[in-house]
Chains A and B, each alone.
Chain A
Amino acid sequence: MAKKLGLDLARPSQQHLLGYILLAPAVLLVAAIIIYPLIISVDLSLQNVKMPRIGAARKPVTLGNYEKLFTSPEFWMACWVTLKLVVTVTLGSLIAGISTALLVNNKFRGRKIARVAMALPWAVPEVIAVVIFAWIFDSSFGFMSWLFIKLGLTDQMIKWISTPGAAFWALSITMIWKGFPFVSIMTLAGLQSIPADFYAAAKVDGASAVQRFRWITLPLLMPILGVTLVLVTLWVFRDFSIIKVLTGGGPLKSTQTLSIMTYDQAFGFFKFGYASAVGVITLIICVIASMLMLGRSPKTL
């Protein structure tokens, strides 16, 4: 086929063309699905639109939505909550993921089963996971409160959903449970690719376990962890169903992330223009964040 097109793709000078061709289907497919909604969203965000109508006459362009957004304490609160959640869940997932991966990387009986067990939360659909955790964190009959009382950490049932601080933690724990297996699997894969000789050599040189981790494991894991980090971050940014069902964004907006705010404004209050503005800003933040994170591992990514 290449010859028919009059190109000899084996020639180094034509190589980058082949590269573009290979990338084309992915880019086109994504573009097809994303471009139109993106245009609509940006369009709506610049109009004073309540309920959208695809194909309706356009209203005058105005920056009103963005003005409202940047002066709205609710928006900044949502940004702050999103940031808190992203950091907490990403950090928690990283720690849990890497530690479980390290744990399971050892040789022991039942290793296969343990590895599968570590990854199961990832296989459980969000709709179901959140139902389970809603029950566990139930304020009146939930397991978690009962556990806390039994452990003596508190003497009353904790009102998980109606206490701002507790709600945030209940949410974080649920998301970490759901998110860490992915980190675990990626880390495990990365660990497998580190030749055992490296460790052997380090041991011979008298390096302790911690030093081995710091100087061999961690650096060699960086590339994989980089991608993993970006994907986990984007997942938290975007997640909607877990937060919505568990806390609904409350209480007192303590768990209202940007994605929840977008939804509430759009489908709760029918203010699509404003919601689109929030969404567009979210997109921009994500793009910047991704660029920063990907930029830090230039070699493999």
Chain B
Amino acid sequence: MERTPLQSILLYLAIITTAGIILFPIYWLFITALASTDELSSLPPTFIPRDPDWAIFSRVLTERPIFLWLFNSTIVALGSVILSMIVSVLAGYGLSRFRVRGGQSLGLFILTAKMLPATLLVIPLFAVFRNIGMIGSLWTVIIAHSTLIIPFTTWMLKGYFDTIPRELEQAAMVDGCGPMAAMMRVVLPISTPGLAATALYAFVLSWADYAYARTFLQGAQTNWTANMGIASMRGEYTTDWNEISAAAVFVATPIMLIYLFLERYLVGGLTAGAEK
């Protein structure tokens, strides 16, 4: 694509400005962790702290079990991803390939999981899990997260599978494969990017949850997830903003790193099978 120098400059300008605006709050998080409380409560706002307290990061690591929280969040997220991916690959494929009567309605039903306000789900679910004796177990959160994730990933995968031409499976079936085998041996392997992208979304969704984790894991401090940990740092009388921001940096970083790492799958992953 040919571009005049002026267009190039404008483009770069637009991108840098946009990126700046978008990333500003994250930069602000860093500043809040490092600045003194005096700087935080004065104007003009401190953009670069005079005497950044880098020690805050090591301090918060020793005072709070950040790594434990991150570990728990990871376990829950991995569990949720595995469970929801298995279920939604099947469902997404089903919605995509088969014209089932009421398929659209079932698809819509799956979506209702996201429509009832969390407030009303909390107590009944707590009671259910309590009756099974699972309160405090990470499994409760894994299951709960999966139900939040499945509507999302099912529809995404359906959309993705829609872009893969059916000729591929039909060719396989002509060769004697059953439809399930066709799916496993033909469609899934070439869907890796789409699957990776969906799995990543599922991971982020699970990582971001706070409400369910808080409901089921409150009493089991060794099972707290990262968001619960951060929320617990709000004191009754005051909140140490330096500490909580530093902790927040630790909690947000892994997910941002994973994201950076796998970003190319994200966009590439949802690419249509047009080139295939």
Give me the interface of A with B, judged by CB distance under 8 Å: 2, 9-10, 15-16, 18-23, 25-27, 29-31, 33-34, 36-38, 40-41, 52, 54-55, 100, 103-104, 106-108, 110, 112, 114-129, 131-133, 135-136, 140-143, 146, 177, 185-186, 188-190, 192-193, 195, 223-224, 227, 230-231, 234-235, 237-238, 240-241, 258-259, 262-263, 266-267, 275-276, 278-279, 282-283, 286-287, 290-291, 294, 300-301
Contact = CB atoms under 8 A, between A and B. Distances in A.
Given A267-B119, A279-B119, A116 B94 contact: no
A133 B25 contact: yes
Given A124-B252, A301-B155, 10 more contacts: A23-B90, A26-B150, A29-B146, A123-B255, A128-B248, A132-B28, A141-B42, A193-B270, A193-B271, A283-B115
Given A22-B90, A23-B103, A177-B22, A287 B115 contact: yes
B58 interface: no
Interface in B125-146: 125, 127-128, 143-144, 146
B14 interface: yes
Nearest to A124: B252
Main secondary structure of the interface of A (DSSP, over half): helix
B22 A238 contact: no
A37 B15 contact: no
B28 A189 contact: no
B106 interface: yes
A164 to B, nearest CB: 23
Interface residues of B, number: 105
Interface of B: 1, 8, 11-12, 14-15, 18-19, 22-23, 25-26, 28-29, 32, 40-45, 86-88, 90-91, 93-95, 97-101, 103-104, 106-121, 123-125, 127-128, 143-144, 146-147, 150-152, 154-156, 158-159, 162-163, 173, 178-180, 197, 204, 207-208, 210-211, 226-227, 230-231, 241, 244-245, 248, 251-252, 255-256, 259-260, 263-264, 266-272, 274
A118 B264 contact: no
A125 B256 contact: no
A177 B204 CA distance: 16
B98 to A, nearest CB: 3
A131 B112 contact: no
Nearest to B228: A127
18 contacts: A19-B98, A23-B94, A23-B106, A25-B87, A27-B106, A33-B144, A34-B121, A37-B124, A40-B123, A54-B123, A106-B11, A123-B252, A227-B156, A231-B155, A240-B118, A286-B115, A294-B104, A300-B162
